[in-house]
Amino acid sequence: MSDLAPAGVAETARLIRDGEITAVDALQATLARIEARNDELNAFTNVLVDEALAEAEARDIRLGGGADVGPLHGVPIAIKEEIDVAGAVTTFGGRGNSTPATADAEVVTRLRQAGAVIVGKTAMPEFGAFPFTESDAYGVTRNPWDPGRTPGGSSGGTAVAVASGMVPAGIGGDGGGSIRIPSASCGLFGLKPQRGRVTTAPHPHLWWALGTVGPLTHTVLDSALVYDVIRGNVDSDLYRAGGDASFVDAAGRAPGRLRIGWSVTSAALGVKPDPVHVQAVEDTARLLADLGHDVRAVDPRYPDPTAAFVPQFFAGIRSEAAIVEHYDRLERRTRETCRLGSWVTPRVRDWALGQTEKVSAKANRVFEDVDVLLTPAIAHRPARVGRLDGIGTVRASLRAMPPIAYAALWNVAGNPAASVPCGLADDGLPVAVQLVGRTDDEATLFSLSAQLEQARPWPLVAP
């Protein structure tokens, strides 16, 4: 069943519902693909073979009994290491925990309720601190398009698992670009939702106002399907988004004529985009104009997000480090990061949250004149692996600037933003652009991204 690799979420679910394959067939294809590719690429840190087989068998029994089934029935899905899966250790990418989680995170519960089969946990840098998926505990995760290159991060293991066809979809998190950066590096569609769109339970927040949870997928529709399953809140969530329109419906309708502003100016001082990414933005702007949109160059007048982002970054790392069982087993760089962030007291953190509101107001001025902002997704081409080898927090942070240059501002502002593939460059690696939407307006991004996907199809599975 290895030919299932390109099927994706919607097609795999359809094949199972229509009886053309079983959930066990789909899982066996996934496990075979993991067996063939994971030793080289290092996407999975923990493959839950027995648990997943039992879950797939239960899905087939339920469908065979004529019961109603969910939209993800039988679809194998991977989960990033920072998200709890019952029976598996939540490692946060390191060795700080050793006891398996006793319950699923709420997102995982919702996936299972929709019929998904949870396959395993995927690699990340420890606590997702930097946009390169490398750790002392699990080693280097490699880009399936070129194993000598990074897949980005911090949801790099998820991206590689999906891009290589090991699973139809995987769940990641995004606190400074960690869904969009690996999506751009690996040729996937990855949308960071509006702050508070998806619950972070059992935790009240993910890196305070910065972080969100969401899927990485091959197609726009696949992303919308997963989001419609996992979106929504519980009482303990610190943040909530507005609106409840179906993203699947949005992905299926034309966006109408939109005002689209484009810019290749970076929100990070001193970071210049690679010419390949400038060309991708310009080509996409022309395509959007040909599709009937009002497209123009704009000056986004980006505010400086540093005062809001940096304290929350340190506070996020320190809050996660504080809950692990074995602090002394954390990487030396992580412990250094915790020490360097000791100045972020609760009072400083709350001040930074106040700055977040000011940055958001200024960043959203661009939407007074346009409906969507088009930018590069990342500044530089995916780097050689080993970006974190032997370096400390300061050098790692400097190396992180090109990947997060266009992404992190929108974590501070809270707006939805998507990495949309543009195909492959001459170096054989994927190219992507970023689409940023108004507050609470993921629907427009889904509609517009689906239109781009139809007009300019992208490769689905890395060779």
Residues involved in catalysis: 80, 154, 178
Geometric angle at alpha carbon 385, from 382 and 389, rounded to 5°: 130
Residue that has been written with the tokens 């309708």 in this structure: 253
C-beta atoms surrounding 332 within 10 Å: 10
Q: Report the SS3 class of residue 19.
A: coil
Alpha-carbon torsion (38, 42, 48, 54), positive or negative: negative
Q: Tell me the HSE value of 310 on the side-chain side, using a 13 A CA sphere.
A: 14
Tell me the C-alpha distance between 311 and 348, whole Å.
Answer: 7
Burial of 381 (0-12, 13-18, 19+ CB in 10 A): middle
Tell me the C-alpha distance between 302 and 298, whole Å.
Answer: 11
**Interaxial angle between packed helices 346-363 and 306-321, expressed in degrees from 0 to 180 and rounded to the nearest 10:** 140
Residue type at position 280: A
Element (H, E) at 389: none
Tell me the C-alpha distance between 282 and 119, whole Å.
Answer: 39
C-beta atoms surrounding 91 within 10 Å: 22
The number of angstroms, rounded, from the C-alpha of 419 to the middle of its chain's C-alpha atoms is: 9
Whole-angstrom Cα Rg for the chain: 20
Longest CA span, the chain: 61
Geometric angle at alpha carbon 300, from 297 and 301, rounded to 5°: 135
**Pick from 121, 21, 19: which is nearest to 3 by CA?**
21
Number of H helices, E strands in the chain: 15, 13
**Pick from 186, 226, 216: which is nearest to 432 by CA?**
186
